[in-house]
Amino acid sequence: MIEPDYEAMTDEELRGQTDEFRKRLDEGESIDAILPEAFATVREACRRLMGTTVMVTGQPIVWNMVPYDVQLIGGINLHRGRIAEMATGEGKTLVATLPLYLNALPARGAPARSVPVLAAPSAAICGPGPSMAMSPATTPATPQRTTNRVR
């Protein structure tokens, strides 16, 4: 179990995990090999935010989200390119942070698509961290969507 190791890290050590993961990837370790540790990093960051006020689309909200084990499984499925069906209120945005962080580590970007009404709040919730930019993407046959690209 790696959770106690991450709970024991200082904030600085936890922030340093990103550079450590990137170094390991540069040395040839696979992204799948670091998945458990990367997800643990996101989960611990979320845990440390509990009770703090964050601004989401100009509105203050009290952070109260830490991924449950079942949400970690959803994140693994998304990372593997599978569909993870979740109902309203089951934490889709929170689940998405897990594979977004992992797949942004190689610094090639990790795309996330969302409807416009959710894109700005999702980007605000997912950041700060690896940089996030929002760019609108439209196709004639579908309603407008917004793409968040984590770098």
Give the pTM: 0.75
Smallest CA-to-CA distance from 135 within 147, 122, 151, 127 is with 147
Is the model more confident about 139 or about 59? 59
* Contact by Cβ (8 Å): 39, 98: yes
Instruction: Tally the domains of the chain.
Output: 1
Residue 146 lies in a domain: no
Residue 74 lies in a domain: yes
- Rounded to whole angstroms, the Cα distance separating 65 from 49 reads 8
Handedness of CA 16, 17, 20, 22 (dihedral sign): negative
Residue 127 lies in a domain: no
pLDDT single digits (tens) 77-105:
999 988 878 888 888 888 988 999 999 99
DSSP letter for 115, please: -
Is the model more confident about 146 or about 19? 19
Question: For residue 100, which phi and psi values (nearest 5 degrees)?
Answer: -65, -45
* Contact by Cβ (8 Å): 108, 79: no
Residue 71 lies in a domain: yes
Residue 120 lies in a domain: no
User: Within 10 A of 146 (CB to CB), how many other CB atoms are there?
Assistant: 20
Which CATH number covers residue 50?
3.40.50.300
Note the pLDDT of residue 74. Answer: 92
Residue 26 lies in a domain: yes
Question: For residue 113, which phi and psi values (nearest 5 degrees)?
Answer: -110, 145
**Cα separations in angstroms, 46 against 41, 92, 126, 128, 136:** 9, 15, 10, 12, 27
Q: From the centroid of its chain, how far is CA 120?
A: 15
69: exposed, middle or buried (Cβ count in 10 Å: 0-12, 13-18, 19+): exposed
- Angle, helix 116-126 to helix 92-104, in steps of 10 degrees: 60
Please say if the pLDDT value at position 108 is more than 90: no
Residue 119 lies in a domain: no
Q: What is the mean pLDDT of residues 14-38?
A: 96
> Rg for the chain (alpha carbons), in Å?
15
Note the pLDDT of residue 87. Answer: 82
Please say if the pLDDT value at position 26 is more than 90: yes
Work out the pLDDT band at 1, boundaries 50, 70, 90: confident
Residue 22 lies in a domain: yes
pLDDT single digits (tens) 35-81:
999 999 999 999 999 999 988 778 898 999 999 999 999 999 999 98
Is the model more confident about 4 or about 54? 4
The range of the structural domain enclosing residue 81 comes to 3-111
Mean pLDDT rounded to a whole number for the chain:
79
